[in-house]
Structure formats: structure tokens, C-alpha cells
Amino acid sequence: MSFKLIFGNEEFDSEILRKSDADQYVMKFAKDWILGKEEYTFLTSGSTGAPKEIRISRSMLELSARKSIEALGLSGISSALLCINPEFIGGTQMITRAIVGNYTLHVTEPRSFPIEKGRNPVDFISLVPLQLDSLISDPYGNEFLQKCKIILVGGAGLTPAIEKKAQNLDTPVYHSYGMTETASHIALRRVNGKQASPFYTMLPGNDVHLNEQNCLVFDGDLIPAETMTTHDIGEIKSGNQFLVKGRKDNIINSGGIKISPESLEKLIAENLDENSNPDSFLISSLEDEKLGHKITLVTDDQTKDWEGIINGIKWPQYFKPKELVLLPSIPKTLSGKIDRLAVREMIR
């Protein structure tokens, strides 16, 4: 006889109780949805500070899921793989799309290489950039991705090296733009193939424009208020297409010159080998008597000749890092992104 727990008509044996936190969350969310729960609580990613708790209605989650299904061409698929953290909005919406789209959702523990040998191919998979890079770089992982019909990537930016690798995939790869407050992505861009573009296209029913500080402002049926002003500095192309250049709150004022660290990080990434960890460095700043703040390269990778890399790059005038700081490790937020605020505190 084996141990069991029975609550009313629900029976839990030892195998169910051994399931991971990710599995438990997926089962609870699916059960809550089927039972008609009307509101759900999420934590924001914490990219710009401490994570905040917000509530999102069932109707908003469903609307977002239906728009994603339409935009990505998921109607009629039979299977998907959830291998990112299900407790953040991107992972939860993989569950919602599966319920709304009536297809099978396979769940596995989130990890850098998220598939095991022998796993059957799926039609749709959602990944973070690190996972995409790991799979593309592995023969078995690459073969698995080639058998998918749609690949969605989100949660962080794509480095030039990863984008270059993605060009070798026949499967369409889409990079998402969104946030917890908008119940997952509100815009998509194609990464590979003839339709590849650095510009995101808004999902139908939503619009974008710039304010006086050139920050992106959104409105539409996926926006929780009449308008949502972001700290993302952008560029509008035509219609509902936009480019993200960096974040206003990351701007460094060095000698009166306003510098976007993201643009410098992209330049550095373009001069590293394709196997370099994109989260092993960032551009920050240190106080300086003459400049106010001086551009500083921070890294936890002590295997590279960073001085040589810095001197080998053709920098725009005034943009060359004037200081190099080595850390034991670069702090991350709960969602795995570089915690820029924590880094600033560490190097002060």
C-alpha cells in the first residue's frame, strides 16, 4: 500500500506530490481557468527595480492569447512545449493559448537546454534567448527546432550572434515585445527569413507613437489604461512598426553627451565570438569629476582580453569605455535579466 492524500474527490499520490514547482503551477493555473477564475496575480520581471505585484483579468489574458494565436498563425496546430518559467506572464500565456487554441501542451522544467534526447517534435515552442542559443548550437537541438512550425523568443534582447545563428533555421523565429502589464507581447518581429526585420509590428487593435522624449507610448485593447508610456527609447517606421533603441532610465550623461548603454553593448557583442555569454558584460558608469559620469565596462568573464577588445573596436567619438570593472558575478533579477541597478551599487 502506498501513501495518498484525498481532499474531497481529489486524490494525490506520491508521484503527483513529487512534481516540480513548475508542474504544480501549470496544474493549478489550468484548474483555476477551467473552474472560471476571473482574476490572476503576477509579479513583474523586476527589470527596472523591485518586482511589483499586479492583477490581470481572465478576459485580458484570453484576448492576448487569441491575438497571439492569430498573429503567429497557431490556429490548427496540435502541440506546444512550455519550457520557460510558467510563473511569469510569458510562460503563463503559453498555458492560456493552449487552452484557448485547444491543443496539447507539453511541460518540462525550465533550463538552458530544455529538451531531452528522444522528445517528439512539437508545432510551437517559446524560448528565452539563452535557450535558443543552446539549442541552435547543438546538433540534436538544432534538428528539433527545424521540426517545429513556429518559434517564439522573448524575455530579453537577442544578441547579434544569436540572430546570426537563427538565420540558418528554416522554422520561422519571432521575437516578442511586451510586458507583464500588457498580458504578454503586444508586438512581434520576424528574426529570420525574407520577412526578417529589426522593427516590431503591433498586434491588431493596438497603436504606438513617441512622446517628446522619444519614448514609446502605446494604446489599444491590450493596454490596461488609455495609454501606456514606457521608458523605451524608440523609432517609428510606418504604420504600427517601431524599433527599440534603449531605455531612458539607462541613459548615461557623460560630459553632456547622452549615451545609450544598449547601443554600446550591441557594438561589443558584434566584436565577440559567437559562443560568448551575452549576460557576461554590460555598460554602466562611474562618477567622474570632469565628465560627471564615465563610461564603464563591467564583466564577470575573466577569460577574455577585455582591454584588447575595447581597443580593437571603432567607437563613436566619446563612447569608448574609460574604465573596466571585473566582478565575481553579475547580479540578475528574478526573471534572469541583468540587474543594472544592483550593478551600479556594486561598482560605486
pLDDT of 234 over the 70 cut: yes
Confirm whether 141 is domain-assigned: yes
Domain co-membership, 51 together with 73: yes
pLDDT at residue 220 in the model:
95
**Assigned C-alpha cell, 125:** 515552442
Q: What are phi and psi of 214, to 5 degrees?
A: 65, 25
> Is residue 80 within 8 Å of residue 100, measured between CB atoms?
no
Give the range among 159-163, 305-309, 310-314, 326-330 with minimum mean pLDDT. 159-163
Domain co-membership, 145 together with 241: no
Domain co-membership, 235 together with 302: no
Residue numbers of the domain that contains 27? 20-173+185-192
pLDDT (average), residues 264-274? 89
11 pLDDT band, cuts 50/70/90, is: low
pLDDT (average), residues 213-241? 91
Confirm whether 180 is domain-assigned: no
Domain co-membership, 96 together with 220: no
pLDDT at residue 52 in the model:
80
Domain co-membership, 100 together with 204: no
pLDDT at residue 78 in the model:
94
pLDDT of 244 over the 60 cut: yes
Q: Which residue has the higher pLDDT, 201 or 14?
A: 201
The rounded percent of the chain whose pLDDT value lies above 90 is 67
Of 218, 234, 156, 128, the closest CA to residue 182 belongs to: 218
Q: Which residue has the higher pLDDT, 176 or 332?
A: 176
Mean pLDDT of the chain: 89
Confirm whether 265 is domain-assigned: yes
The rounded percent of the chain whose pLDDT value lies above 70 is 92
- Per-residue pLDDT tens over the stretch 42-76: 987 655 556 788 999 999 999 999 999 999 999 98
Which residues in the chain belong to E strands, given as ranges? Answer: 4-7, 10-13, 39-43, 53-57, 79-82, 104-107, 124-127, 150-153, 173-179, 184-190, 200-202, 206-210, 215-220, 228-236, 241-247, 252-254, 257-259, 281-288, 292-299, 323-326
Domain co-membership, 308 together with 224: no
- Per-residue pLDDT tens over the stretch 70-113: 999 999 899 999 999 999 999 999 999 999 999 999 999 899 99
Q: The whole model's pTM is what?
A: 0.81
CATH of the domain at 341: 3.30.300.30
Distance CA 216, CA 200 (A): 12
pLDDT at residue 217 in the model:
95
**Number of independent structural domains in the chain:** 3
pLDDT at residue 334 in the model:
76
pLDDT (average), residues 153-171? 92
Domain co-membership, 221 together with 264: no
Q: Give the CA distances from residue 248 to residues 79, 175, 213, 260, 298, in Å, rounded to whole numbers and listed in that order.
A: 39, 21, 8, 8, 20
Domain co-membership, 213 together with 158: no
Domain co-membership, 154 together with 204: no
Domain co-membership, 26 together with 154: yes
Q: What one-character-per-residue DSSP string does 81-92 give?
A: EE-S-TTSHHHH
Confirm whether 14 is domain-assigned: no
Distance CA 57, CA 139 (A): 42
Domain co-membership, 92 together with 236: no
pLDDT of 264 over the 80 cut: yes
Domain co-membership, 58 together with 132: yes
216 pLDDT band, cuts 50/70/90, is: very high
Confirm whether 2 is domain-assigned: no
Q: Which residue has the higher pLDDT, 176 or 17?
A: 176
